[in-house]
Structure 1
Amino acid sequence: MSDDDNSPISAREAKQLFAGLKSAPALVLAVSGGPDSVALMWLAARWRRSFSRAPRLLVVTVDHGLRPEAAREAREVKRLAAELGLPHRTLRWRGEKPKTGLPAAAREARYRLLAETARKAGASHVLTAHTRDDQAETLLMRMLRGSGLAGLSAMARLSTRDGVVLARPLLDVPKSQLVATLRRAKIGFADDPTNRDANFTRPRLRALLPQLAAEGGDARSLARLASRLARANAAVEVLADGAERFLRLRDRGDASQAAGRSFEASAFALLPEEVRLRLLLRAIDALGHEGPAELGKVETLLAALDRAIAADRPASRRAPANGRAILKQTLAGALISLAGGRIHIAPAPARRSKGR
């Protein structure tokens, strides 16, 4: 992309943005009507016209039912899509809306509706218009929440969600370039006031970005940091994969594996802390039945396991006669125990209802 953050995106640059999607059968474009997503639609339509055999494009607008202007904005997107020769659908998030955590709930509903539409349309990808500015804001939000390395990697260019690939072709593009592109093409766009609503975390952080930029922490620098953290995270994932294979080879034929996962405690303790943490997270998320485990709780569990393994080390050379667990804890619907020199992770028994 151009080094000038205020220059319109050229046709050549647009081809580079969408180059990896040329062989897809169909693509769903998530377009709200704001400048980022309208630019995504306009650039994708121009890119598609540049070659004969191109993916089918379907423009989708999700009306969350939270603002009266949303229906009008969806109609405007439909009008512009028609001018570009693209089909359009409006999806509505129906039902009662939560009183707390509304942005997260709306985001989950949006992705669910987009993925459902993509599967029905035979589309392999859903394209969203997340920009470099969005990446910087996401990194800041996750830093403040104390996310681990995986969370600080922020948004990936490609990820899988509900059986559909979620693509963010504009992730390295500043918002200002998209606005400049639309202005040159003389295309209008909507202004969503919730993007400046200080009741929500992201707009509050967005307002701080100019001050951070003055100290060298502009969107470019923050996005670069997220990219470097993603690279480190990928390396740790490879180490965790290797460690998991190593532990399973040592445990080949162990009958306890059938009921869940089991690690030799002494071998587990030799691994780096971040790798041990990821192995626990993987096992708990795979075998638990109460959703993803919270990182902080798994860190607390790992610290307790490490202390128990250290205390049990002389005795771990021989299994206790009664098989009594030294440590036993449930987390996210998984049962984790240490007994006989081994760590066991299995589904936890279902909780009894209070009425019984």
Structure 2
Amino acid sequence: MTARAENLRSELRARLPETLPPRLGVAVSGGGDSVALMHLLHEIAQYEQVELLVATVDHGLRPEAPAEAARVAEQAAHLRIPHETLRWQGWDGAGNLQDQARQARYDLLTNWAHRHAVGAIVLGHTADDQAETFLMRLGRASGVTGLSGMPDTRDYDGVSLLRPMLGITREQLRQYLSECGVEWIEDPSNHDLRFDRIKAREALSGLDVLGITAKSLTRVAQNLAQAREALARYTQDSARKIAVVDSGDIYIERRGFEALPNEIQRRMVVGIIAWIAGQGYPPRQSSLDQALAAVQEGRTLTLAGCLLLPQGDKTWFCRELNAVAGESVMPEKPWDKRWVLAGPQTPDARVGALGEAGLPQVPDWRALSKPRKALLASPAVWQGENVLAAPLAGYSNGWVAEFTAETPEFYQSLLSH
């Protein structure tokens, strides 16, 4: 092993968890960054007796993609690492292609991880990616959270996503591959100036005369990440005082909320929405401004799959019925990715939203002193047109509703926003 390889391996390992899971996944596209990551992790996995698995996502958007995935499979086979190509076929030509492809990539990878009992997936983002992200978000006038860049670790659908190369540059990795005699694939889209990331890459290349480099911007992002963590702690402490969890919904005391600094108000609303509606991109600034105004003025508002409902001196945050109205699963299966309902063995039982048709079948729901619309989106057990149970609406009938194992405790979840 060369000195360069040893230094890179040491830096990468220092950013990984102290104890690695028995099975570790790595996402490899075939580009220089992820190919170098695969080789470096192979050395670490052998030494620490960790089983490594490789996945390549084929978005089905470029004719070269299947051949590139096959090339990664060959390289993985040479290292005796199991490989699987994950194909996306969900693009219908509508919406933002890059956002949908990114979301699909993470969904495919985490589903693959669950199938193979992989506890964590390592991603090949580098210091250059972090710096480009910083510049793009700077152009959008992002705040502390946006400018703190990509986190080293993130939980996605119960799988840890690890980025241990955020302190390593693209050039360092290519020099390592060249020394090892390993080839990689150059994606032609990396030179397509139609993409904002490529524009940021070009802009960054001309800023080094000012001392602004991938390394320096990565350090700035790290500094802001520390500020983000401090704000997250403040938000968590504030939520413990004014926010109450009630059967998967949350209500806040408006007077206490209004006394908080604006930044903490925003963070709390983002955290509540993410906990109720699921992780994803936070609402846009304009939508958040509307939400803050709705809370302060005691108005009803729909936002990102959530419903904000005023009730006296409180505002409730609950799931929006339209977001879950079409979801139906068997008992003991995750519903809305957060609830599991279990009870007596019942033929043809299904779990779905309580809804307008179900609520009248629930006795004494008014005794809960909870907004009616908050109960409509709660899970119920159906047999045909009949409601057998609605545990969150006070009608258990031998059934229980529990959070999935992947659903974090609310107050703890605020530290990840």
Amino acid corresponding to residue 43 of structure 2 in structure 1: R
Q: Per the alignment, in what secondary structure is the counterpart of residue 126 of structure 1?
A: strand
Unpaired runs of at least 5, structure 2: 326-417
* Equivalent-residue separation in structure 1 for 2:179 and 2:247 (angstroms): 63
2:263 matched residue in structure 1: 274
Alpha-carbon shift at residue 165 of structure 1 (Å): 0.5
Identical-pair percentage: 37
Any conservation in 2 of the 1:182–1:188 contact (CA below 8 Å)? yes
1:321 matched residue in structure 2: none
Further displaced range: 172-181 or 21-30: 21-30
1:48 aligns with 2:45: yes
Any conservation in 1 of the 2:248–2:276 contact (CA below 8 Å)? no
State the superposition RMSD in angstroms: 2.8
Instruction: Mark the CA change 1:342 to 1:150 in structure 2 (over 3 Å): closer, same or farther.
Output: same
- Superposed counterparts of 1:4-83, under 5 Å: 9-19=4-14, 20-21=16-17, 22-51=19-48, 54-83=49-78
TM-score normalized by structure 2? 0.69
Any conservation in 2 of the 1:115–1:162 contact (CA below 8 Å)? yes
1:329 aligns with 2:301: yes
Deviations 1:228-273 (A, max 9, x none): 111111111111111111125xx79xxxx56943333332222222
Any conservation in 2 of the 1:288–1:331 contact (CA below 8 Å)? no
Q: Per the alignment, in what secondary structure is the counterpart of residue 72 of structure 2?
A: helix
Any conservation in 1 of the 2:91–2:97 contact (CA below 8 Å)? no
* Equivalent-residue separation in structure 1 for 2:279 and 2:53 (angstroms): 35
Unpaired runs of at least 5, structure 1: 1-6, 309-325
2:116 matched residue in structure 1: 121
Task: Answer 1 or 2: higher relative contact order, Cα 8 Å, separation at least 6.
Answer: 1
Any conservation in 2 of the 1:118–1:125 contact (CA below 8 Å)? yes
* Equivalent-residue separation in structure 1 for 2:316 and 2:83 (angstroms): 51
TM-score normalized by structure 1? 0.80
Alpha-carbon shift at residue 41 of structure 1 (Å): 0.9
- Superposed counterparts of 1:1-356, under 5 Å: 9-19=4-14, 20-21=16-17, 22-51=19-48, 54-248=49-243, 260-287=249-276, 292-303=282-293, 305-306=295-296, 308=297, 327-337=299-309, 340-348=312-320, 350=322
* Equivalent-residue separation in structure 2 for 1:92 and 1:328 (angstroms): 41
Any conservation in 2 of the 1:62–1:90 contact (CA below 8 Å)? yes
Alpha-carbon shift at residue 301 of structure 1 (Å): 3.3
Q: Per the alignment, in what secondary structure is the counterpart of residue 336 of structure 1?
A: strand
Any conservation in 2 of the 1:39–1:182 contact (CA below 8 Å)? yes
Q: Per the alignment, in what secondary structure is the counterpart of residue 166 of structure 2?
A: coil
Alpha-carbon shift at residue 95 of structure 1 (Å): 4.1
Aligned residues: 320
Instruction: Mark the CA change 1:87 to 1:150 in structure 2 (over 3 Å): closer, same or farther.
Output: same
* Equivalent-residue separation in structure 2 for 1:264 and 1:138 (angstroms): 36
Alpha-carbon shift at residue 118 of structure 1 (Å): 1.3
Further displaced range: 262-271 or 127-136: 262-271
Amino acid corresponding to residue 330 of structure 1 in structure 2: T
Amino acid corresponding to residue 145 of structure 1 in structure 2: R
* Equivalent-residue separation in structure 2 for 1:65 and 1:186 (angstroms): 29
Any conservation in 2 of the 1:157–1:168 contact (CA below 8 Å)? yes
Identify, as 1 or 2, the structure richer in strand.
2
Instruction: Mark the CA change 1:63 to 1:141 in structure 2 (over 3 Å): closer, same or farther.
Output: same
Q: Per the alignment, in what secondary structure is the counterpart of residue 52 of structure 2?
A: strand
Further displaced range: 264-273 or 134-143: 264-273
* Equivalent-residue separation in structure 1 for 2:279 and 2:12 (angstroms): 39
Alpha-carbon shift at residue 173 of structure 1 (Å): 0.3
* Equivalent-residue separation in structure 1 for 2:53 and 2:248 (angstroms): 45
Amino acid corresponding to residue 142 of structure 1 in structure 2: R
